[in-house]
Amino acid sequence: MTDRNNSQSRASAFVHYLFDRCQHDKGFAARIRRADNPATEYQSWEALAVFGVDLENSAERLSFGMVAAAVARSRFEINGILPLGRAIALCYDDGNQSDPAKTRLRRLLACDNNEELCRVLRPLLTLIQSRIAQPLDYAQLLSDALWFNRSQQNVKAHWAQQFYGKQDSMVKESL
């Protein structure tokens, strides 16, 4: 469990750093947004290396890059509390009863490895950012992505629970 806690604190520090730096350095933010494109992801490597990301480890590099790009695209100035599974449900009027929402969740839960997960999450994060007026918990998302290859079933179950579970009153009140 200590490894998981270390991963969460590292993810939280990284996300906090990104929000702070992106607000003050638009050139940095532009380079980080390019982390989603395999042809230009190298432009984000300097920021990733500062946090000790193993650039040769594709699972780690892609997870950090995906979340970094999402943070750089975010219209918010701080990390949120909205979990990924709940955000998917909130993208649709019928919430977790919506067929498109269920389809997106099932596609996410069908991922077999970190590379596929990042490929599926990129457009999903764009959808969430365009439809939800509340920031995601990017630190938790990064922590989940980093643990995906080690504890896939637990991460998937966590997302499904968020999607199908009762809506958190804090999330409901802020909408």
pLDDT digits (tens, 9 = 90+) for 37-47: 889 999 999 99
Q: What would the mean pLDDT of 1-19 be, rounded to a whole number?
A: 83
Segments making up each domain of the chain, as ranges: 2-174
71: Cα within 13 Å, side-chain hemisphere? 36
Cβ atoms of residues 118 and 108 within 8 Å: no
Above 70 in pLDDT, residue 144?
yes
pLDDT tens for residues 21-72? 999 999 999 999 988 888 999 999 999 999 899 999 999 999 999 999 999 9
* 86-136 pLDDT, tens digit each: 999 999 998 889 899 999 999 999 999 999 999 999 999 999 999 999 999
Backbone angles phi, psi at 136, to 5 degrees: -70, 165
pLDDT at 167: 52
Closest CA to 116 of 165, 149, 140: 149
> In CATH, what class is 2-174?
mainly alpha
Where do we find the tokens 């918010």? Answer: 76
What are the two backbone dihedrals, phi and then psi, of residue 127, each rounded to the nearest 5 degrees? -60, -50
